[in-house]
Amino acid sequence: MTAEYKVHGDIAVITLNNPPVNGLGFATRLGITDGLAKANADVAVKAVVITGAGKAFSGGADIKEFGSPKALQEPNLLSVILAVENSSKPVVAAVHTVCMGGGLELALGCHYRIAEPGCSVALPEVKLGLIPGAGGTQRLPRVLGVEPALNMIFSGEPIKSEMLAMLPGQKLFDKMAASAESLAEEALAYARSVADARPMPLVRNLPCKHPLGDAYFQFARNMVKGMSKNFPAPAKCVDAVEAATKQKFDVGMATERDIFASLMFTAESKALRHIFMAERAASKIPDVPADTPQRAINSVAVIGAGTMGGGISMNFLNVGIPVKMLEMKQDALDRGIATIRKNYESQVKKGKLKQDKYEQRMSLLSTTLSYDDLKDADMVIEAVFEELGVKEAVFKELDRVMKPGAILASNTSTLDVNKIASFTKRPEDVVGLHFFSPANVMKLLEVVRGAKTAKDVMATVMAVAKKIKKTAVVSGVCDGFIGNRMVEQYGRQGGFLLDEGCTPAQVDKAIEKFGFAMGPFRMGDLAGNDIGWAIRKRRVVEKPDMKYSKTADLLCEKGRFGQKTGAGWYDYVAGKRDAIPNEDVVKMIEEHRKSLGITPRKISDEEIVQRLVYSLVNEAARILEEGIASKASDIDMVYLMGYGFPIYRGGPMNYADQVGLFNVVQAMNRFAQNPLDDAKFWQPAPLLAKLAAEGKTFN
Ligand code: NAI
């Protein structure tokens, strides 16, 4: 049982004990109802306290039970709360540290609540595309008032207990404990003070009204609509809270239940729940146990103070880890430092960073021109030019100077990490850390595991990634790793679509309507079309029979590299990022099409989206079967965090699962018939073909 029962004189205490956050799994729920039964049967007991052991009162549902029948097995949370309400002896919730979701709903079912200051209180279900399902939408407005409750429910954001206790007329907390330390004692004393109170107060009996009535809910609906397009749950929060003000309690509970159940089956909620689990799964590496010892990382060196080196450094400065940057020339260092300063100063100007914090961060940054100054760093990250010869020289120097046990990381985006490791006599200490630009902003970090990378190095860099607030995903060594290897196929499809009749704007619009932050051509302009050009030049040597559209090469020959040259697939006005279609580019595409003897056809948005997204899916299936990614959900995280895939679709693999792999394969077979496309590419990857044939999914 994951709840303890103890009697302290005349008060019974039920302590939830299901680490890490006392999730309300089946055994814990049973522990509560058993404890209540014991307390009610014991004549010596006058009142009951429910609290949580360790780091939470309760964080809500047990994620281990997510989506399984166990989550609903009786006593389910609704039944537990009913048992609490029906207890013949008063029940006091003693809440501390974290009181969220089902945890808060449980507390709201208790007759009284005492809280420590500093406790995080939330109903975060909306973040999983749901609404609270155990009375949260009906009880919270009754104790906090309609408006503050709705704000909490539709945002899902935690609010500190002491802030809530200050709301005028609030009935959420009957008493605030003086401190976290005194909560247990104060809860016992408070339980004694209410032991004889009859009738016992129930939140369900409190009135629930908004003085403006319908007008308020109309306003709330408009506000929510503007803020949460593509996500149905926030608007449903308004419906549920409105029901609390208009329906009898039990009817309102049924309304909440119906809404909850209908949201459970939406693609958006499935996607959000998938991401929630995928994020946690990404941090786990199958053959690196959670208790793998880690190396201490208290100082970092960064080689190269360019675009990436500067951004990478900021990540560490932001969390108080000192950084030493090395360059070949002083002026490169000066430029690097100036850029970091400028970035921080703009944050200060926007009020996002306090002046003293800025100064504190800059004081952690030092520079050098000499490798010998790096010898004490616990980890070094190389971000020099993308040339193997340059990397070789750098890693030989690092091997010479770095102390034993230091982690040697490369930010290379295309080069072979095993080769880089071989430049040292300690390949087990070498790992790829592929940050995305701008490195101080983008959440994604691909951790590239070399053939010889030590397990404790992997465990350490995953922990470091978490510390600097990145979503780390492990990739094996291959050209482009997970993300760029997939995006290459996506870009190739974009090219074929131009050849066959589309304009860049048409392709971008279609995929942006699907939900991508940016279509392939706007993205090319942002990243620099010359990067893809360089890769294609390499590819035509490596794979001379590879089919691809030459339009992007023609564009680059005109010097239209994108935003940095003010012109790419689109035109740009200095200082602005709006993409303005350019007639000459469209003409260039048409002429190229003519030279190939292609009669343009009208291509539907549906075909554009399918070809772009399924090209990602097919390449991802190959990545998965080669073991470059260890799970499909890791690939989803890469695309969601690094490439602007729409969150509400849960990543390419989750999306393909929802469409049905059978249907995905059918579409690929159709695309393979198109003589202007690449029939070989559209052969479904064996893993995909197998899963589709067996009616299975990636995730
Ligand atoms: P950059 O050209 O902005 O910066 C490179 C810096 O390294 C320059 O300041 C240069 O002076 C310095 N440098 C060159 N050789 C050096 C040496 N031997 N010793 C010390 N410093 C040296 O390049 P960027 O964009 O920062 O790229 C750096 C690395 O990051 C490359 O491997 C690149 O592939 C990778 N990368 C770049 C991304 C991007 O979007 N720019 C994204 C992800 C990875």
- The pLDDT value recorded for residue 63 is 81
Identify the residue whose C-alpha is closest to ligand 1 atom 9.
Answer: 306
CA of 377 to the centre of ligand 1 (A): 20
Q: Quick one: average pLDDT of 244-258?
A: 98
Range list of H helices, 583-651 = 583-595, 605-625, 632-642
Beta bridge partners of 108: none
User: What's the pLDDT tens digit per position in 514-526?
Assistant: 999 999 999 999 9
User: What's the pLDDT tens digit per position in 544-566?
Assistant: 888 999 999 999 999 999 998 99
CA of 93 to the centre of ligand 1 (A): 56
User: What's the pLDDT tens digit per position in 26-39?
Assistant: 999 999 999 999 99
Which residues are identified as catalytic?
Answer: 105, 125
The pick from 302, 303, 307 for probing ligand 1's pocket by mutation, whose C-beta has the most ligand atoms within 8 angstroms, reads 307
User: What's the pLDDT tens digit per position in 525-539?
Assistant: 998 999 889 889 988
Identify the residue whose C-alpha is closest to ligand 1 atom 28.
Answer: 383
56: its two tokens: 């939470």
Confidence category of residue 68, pLDDT binned at 50, 70, 90: confident
85: its two tokens: 């309400």
CA of 385 to the centre of ligand 1 (A): 4
Domain boundaries, the chain: 3-264, 300-475, 483-693
Q: Quick one: average pLDDT of 129-150?
A: 97
674: its two tokens: 């198109």
Give yes or no for residue 1 having a pLDDT over 70: no
* Ligand 1 atom nearest residue 335's Cα: 9
The pick from 302, 308, 398 for probing ligand 1's pocket by mutation, whose C-beta has the most ligand atoms within 8 angstroms, reads 308
Residue of 327, 309, 484, 301 whose CA lies nearest to 411: 309
Identify the residue whose C-alpha is closest to ligand 1 atom 12.
Answer: 304
Residue 283, CA distances (Å) to 103, 278, 290, 630 in order: 26, 9, 10, 11
Confidence category of residue 229, pLDDT binned at 50, 70, 90: confident
Give yes or no for residue 167 having a pLDDT over 90: yes
Q: Quick one: average pLDDT of 455-470?
A: 98
Lowest mean pLDDT among 144-148, 545-549, 616-620: 545-549
Residue of 345, 305, 324, 601 whose CA lies nearest to 439: 305
Q: Quick one: average pLDDT of 392-414?
A: 97
Q: Quick one: average pLDDT of 127-139?
A: 97
CA of 308 to the centre of ligand 1 (A): 6
Q: How far apart are CA 649 and CA 268, in angstroms?
A: 6
Identify the residue whose C-alpha is closest to ligand 1 atom 13.
Answer: 384
* Ligand 1 atom nearest residue 336's Cα: 9
- The pLDDT value recorded for residue 228 is 86
Residue of 196, 200, 189 whose CA lies nearest to 46: 196
- The CATH fold assigned to 300-475 is Rossmann fold (3.40.50)
Contact 421, 399 (CB under 8 A): no
- The pLDDT value recorded for residue 69 is 86
Identify the residue whose C-alpha is closest to ligand 1 atom 29.
Answer: 383
**Single-letter amino acid, residue 295:** R
User: Do the domains spanning 3-264 and 300-475 agree at the CATH topology level?
Assistant: no
* Ligand 1 atom nearest residue 328's Cα: 20
Q: List ligand 1's pocket residues with C-beta within 6 A.
A: 303-309, 326-328, 332, 383-386, 390, 393-394, 411-413, 434-437
Q: What percent of the residues of the chain are helix, what percent strand, and what percent coil, each to the nearest 5?
A: 50, 10, 35
Its CATH architecture, for the domain 483-693, is Orthogonal Bundle (1.10)
- The pLDDT value recorded for residue 304 is 97
User: Running DSSP on this structure, what letter comes out for residue 379?
Assistant: E
User: What's the pLDDT tens digit per position in 277-307?
Assistant: 999 999 999 999 999 999 999 999 999 999 9
CA of 309 to the centre of ligand 1 (A): 7
* Ligand 1 atom nearest residue 527's Cα: 40
At residue 382's C-alpha, the angle toward residues 377 and 388, to 5°, is: 140
**Single-letter amino acid, residue 504:** P
| Torsion 402-408-414-417 (CA) sign | positive
Contact 490, 516 (CB under 8 A): no
Q: Which residue shows structure tokens 């304009």? A: 503
Q: How far apart are CA 274 and CA 284, in angstroms?
A: 16
CA of 305 to the centre of ligand 1 (A): 7
Q: How far apart are CA 77 and CA 74, in angstroms?
A: 8
Report the mean per-residue pLDDT for the chain: 96
At residue 479's C-alpha, the angle toward residues 474 and 482, to 5°, is: 35
- The pLDDT value recorded for residue 460 is 98
Identify the residue whose C-alpha is closest to ligand 1 atom 4.
Answer: 306
Residues 6+ apart with CB under 8 A from 51: 13, 14, 15, 16, 57, 93, 94, 95, 96, 183, 184, 187
Collapsed DSSP state (helix, strand, coil) of residue 423: coil
Identify the residue whose C-alpha is closest to ligand 1 atom 44.
Answer: 413
* Ligand 1 atom nearest residue 384's Cα: 7
Contact 618, 668 (CB under 8 A): yes
Residue of 139, 134, 111 whose CA lies nearest to 207: 139
The pick from 325, 339, 384 for probing ligand 1's pocket by mutation, whose C-beta has the most ligand atoms within 8 angstroms, reads 384
* Ligand 1 atom nearest residue 304's Cα: 7
**Domain 3-264 coded CATH 3.40.50.11890:** no
CA of 536 to the centre of ligand 1 (A): 20
CA of 590 to the centre of ligand 1 (A): 37
* Ligand 1 atom nearest residue 326's Cα: 20
Give yes or no for residue 225 having a pLDDT over 70: yes
